[in-house]
Each structure stands twice: as structure tokens, then as C-alpha cells.
Amino acid sequence: MSRFYPADILLPDFKKVDGTRYAVVACDQFTSEPAVWEETETVVGDALSTLRFILPELFLSERKERIPGIHAAMEKALSDGAFKEYPHAMIYLRRTQSDGTVREGLVGAIDLLDYDYKPGSKPPIRATEGTVLERVPPRVDIRRGAKIELPHVMLLLDDPGKTVIEPLADLATGTAPLYDFDLMQGGGHVTGYLLDRAKQKRVDEALDAIAPEGEDPLVFAVGDGNHSLAAAKAYFEELLDTLGDDALTHPARYALVELVNLHSPALVFRPIYRAVFGADEGDLTNALLSDVLTASVKNPDAPATHLTVLSGETSSTVTYPHGTHPLDVGTLQSFLDRYVAAHPGVTVDYIHGEDALASIVSERGAIGFLFPGMEKEQLFPAVREKGALPRKTFSMGEARDKRYYLEARKIAEEN
């Protein structure tokens, strides 16, 4: 059983709609860079765009004012006939990233009964990072009342033999694409091809052939969009509470995702750095050095943790001889969680890219933390052994190479 399914996928007519203005980057990017989203707004203008169907996390605090407009835009697009529906579809896509490499993916659906984000659970589809529970309700607010979903969720498949997605590359020769356009703001290029039933069957067979065995097998790991998928699950659980067994036939039982092979050469894991706002530099530094001593005494057999601290125009190196977690980010996050809890008004943001972090530190007075990232081959063994990793442990590629909103699917029952 593959646990990856066709879906009734919605796309606009790209002969009439400008794909470059239609597709926008995932909502959880550039959360401390409002200029990027201002530029997005300028590029989109009055064109049909997924920007109208999402809420960039930068504006989560304004969700009560913005969500009605999002739902109204979805309603209008559907009533205006802006989409063509491709029933029982899977889409093979080729994403030319900003560095010129091509990342292959497969768009389809998963059953949310196969997924859970709660600590200690071992479903076939698992969260790879700790879920910040307070971040789920705002996303559920958006999903509740939404007519369609647009995914930036990327699931990872452990397929070192490249037997599932990569053989679909023959679609790129002699097959007319569903879409083929440049992505805005340096996001590269994207091309998508519809799979016929024979190729869908081939995908199912290939997935079945590499399906892990044993008790509580890990089939797919969530690479990007952990919190968005958690919101989809939480909303479906609401429906189970209110509709009972009728929820099992509700379209919100499923979620649209992109499946990507962990072993794709184009898939690179990057650290997600930390920016701390509102902290006194001296107090934070003293607390960090105290934590170094405490952690090393308590964990004499643990590996070292290496951090670079950015402040103003300076940087310094802090080393835990023995950290509190196998990953450097885990040791840092544990410290920051405790520090923030003890210092009201101090906040942490999660930043993609060293240059972006340096800019935020310089321009906004934040204190930044850099650290080595994890190797992607560590992911599946770590999740099997440890469960979810610390939140925002890694990012798959650079911010502009993230998934752009493009395909959609109805998640509300017809009236």
C-alpha cells in the first residue's frame, strides 16, 4: 500500500493567467523581511495569484482582519471559473532552482489518518521536527472556512535507488506540460506534467516495492510544511468530532503534498538559524556561558556543540564541550526555550540564510546564532530513533528555492 494517492487537482489556464505572478513562495519564508512581501505585492498587482489565498506568516498577528479576505478570494476564484479540475491526477514537476540544479517532485495526496504530529506517535507519515502547538490554531483558523488548499508541504521519500520519481523524467520529452514558467523573485523555473493511469500505476508499484517493513514503519517524513500539515490534521480532527464517521468521506480527510526523494542531488539541507529580539546582550551572553558549564557537567558523554554568536558588527564562538542534544541546534534550542520563558518580551525568529541573519542582526539589533547543519542522510534514522527533531532543525535549500504555491484542491463539501 503506497499511502500516496491521486487527487482532483485545480490549476488555472496558464494560457490566460501569468504563472509568474500566480505562484508565490511558501508563507513561512521571509518572516522578518517585510520588504520581500511588499515586493511580492507589487509584482502580483491585480493579477490572479495564490498570494490572495494564503497568509504570509509575517502577518499572522493580523489574521482576524485578513482571513475573511482570503476566504472571499477563494470563493470568487471558484465562482469565476478560474480553475480547471484535473480529476484523479498526479503531477510530475521539475523545479529548476536558483543555482541551476533541477529538483524533481510528485504532487498528489495523503490520507491524514496516516499522519500525526503528536509526540510519541509513530504513524507511517511523521513530523520531522517538534511542532510548536501554539502555531497550529492560527493555521487552522485559515483552513476553517477555506474552500481550497494550496500546499507548500514537501514529504520526503527514502529511495536511494531512485525508483519512484526519477523514472518519470521521460515525461519531459515529447509531452506537453501543464505549466512551464519562471518563478518570481529569483525562484527559478517550474514545469509540471500530468501522469496518465499507467504511470500512476508504475508509481504505486515502485512505492510498494520499497515500502519499509516491521512494526511502525516510517514511510514518509515531512521535510517542509510541518505546521501546515499539522493544521490540516487538527482541522480534520475537528470534523471527526463534529461529523463523526461522516468526516471519513469529507475532502478535508486528505491533504495535497509534493513528494521528493531525499536522495535527490538537488535537495540540500540547510540550517535554520536563530535571531533573538528584545534581549540584553550581556545578560544573554552570561546566561549562555552558564548553560555551557551546566550542560557539560550534566552530559559528560555527549558530543560537543559549536555556535557562532552575531551581535552588531562582531561575532564570537561559543563551544559546549558536551551539549544536551546530538545536534547543535538541539542544544541551542533547549537553551533559548528556557531563556525566553524566563524573560518576557524576548522573542526568537527562525532565519533562512547567513546573509539574511547578518542583515537582521545589523539592521534590527537582533542577536544571531549560526551553527553547523545536519546531513540529510541522518534524517530517517534520527526520526526512527528519536522521533521528531527540535523545531526548525533544517531547511531544504535556500528560501527562494522553497515550494511555491501552485496546485490546489477543494477541501469543502459541495453545497
pLDDT at 234: 94
Q: Are strands 84-89 and 91-96 parallel, antiparallel or unpaired?
A: unpaired
Query: Which one, of 10, 5, 4, 3, lies nearest residue 149 by Cα?
Result: 10
For cell 533559548, name the residue. 336
How many Cα atoms are found within 13 Å in the side-chain-facing hemisphere of 113?
Answer: 10
pLDDT at 1: 67
Question: Cα separation of 385 and 181, whole Å?
Answer: 41
Torsion over CA of 130, 326, 378 and 214, rounded to 10 degrees? -70
For the chain, the farthest-separated pair of C-alpha atoms sits apart, in whole angstroms, at 65
Q: Are strands 125-126 and 115-116 parallel, antiparallel or unpaired?
A: parallel
Q: What DSSP letter does each residue of 57-116 carry, written as one string?
A: GGGGGGHHHHHHHHHHHHHHHHHTT--EEEEEE-EEEEEE-TTS-EEEEEEEEEEGGGEE
Q: Residue 202 in contact with residue 167, Cβ under 8 Å?
A: yes
pLDDT at 136: 84
Q: What DSSP letter does each residue of 377-396 carry, written as one string?
A: GGHHHHHHHH-SBSTT-EEE
| 339-347 contacts at long range (C-beta below 8 A, 24 or more positions apart) | 339/279, 339/284, 339/287, 343/278, 343/279, 343/283, 345/278, 346/276, 346/277, 346/278, 346/279, 347/276, 347/277, 347/278
Question: Cα separation of 278 and 256, whole Å?
Answer: 38
Question: Cα separation of 276 and 348, whole Å?
Answer: 5
Question: Cα separation of 369 and 318, whole Å?
Answer: 10
Query: Which one, of 146, 249, 203, lies nearest residue 3 by Cα?
Result: 203
pLDDT at 155: 96
- Tell which CATH architecture fits domain 270-395: 2-Layer Sandwich (3.30)
Collapsing DSSP states into helix, strand and coil, what is residue 135?
Answer: helix
Cα–Cα separations (whole angstroms), residue 379 to 36, 38, 218, 223, 277: 31, 35, 11, 9, 30
pLDDT at 133: 67
Q: Which residues contact 136 (CB under 8 A, 6 or more apart)?
A: 227, 230, 231, 234
pTM of the model: 0.84
Output the nine-digit C-alpha cell for 177: 506540460
Q: Are strands 314-320 and 305-311 parallel, antiparallel or unpaired?
A: antiparallel
pLDDT at 160: 95
Going by the DSSP 8-state scheme, the letter that residue 374 receives in this structure is: P
> What pLDDT digit, counting tens, does each position of 148-204 carry?
999 999 999 999 999 999 999 998 888 899 999 999 999 999 999 999 999 999 999
Query: Which one, of 236, 24, 60, 32, lies nearest residue 132 by Cα?
Result: 60
29's enclosing H/E stretch is none
pLDDT at 397: 77
Question: Cα separation of 94 and 200, whole Å?
Answer: 17
* Per-residue model confidence as pLDDT tens for the chain (415 residues): 679 999 999 999 999 999 999 999 999 888 888 999 999 999 999 999 999 999 998 998 898 999 999 999 999 999 999 999 999 999 999 999 988 999 999 999 999 999 998 888 899 999 887 777 677 888 899 999 999 999 999 999 999 999 999 999 998 888 899 999 999 999 999 999 999 999 999 999 999 999 998 888 999 999 888 889 999 999 999 999 999 999 999 999 999 999 999 999 999 888 999 999 999 999 999 999 999 999 988 888 888 999 999 998 889 999 999 998 888 998 999 999 999 999 999 999 999 889 999 999 999 999 999 999 888 888 898 888 778 788 788 888 788 889 999 999 999 987 6
Amino acid letter, 254:
Y
Task: For the chain, give every domain's residue range.
Answer: 7-268+399-410, 270-395
Query: Which one, of 64, 63, 67, lies nearest residue 75 by Cα?
Result: 67
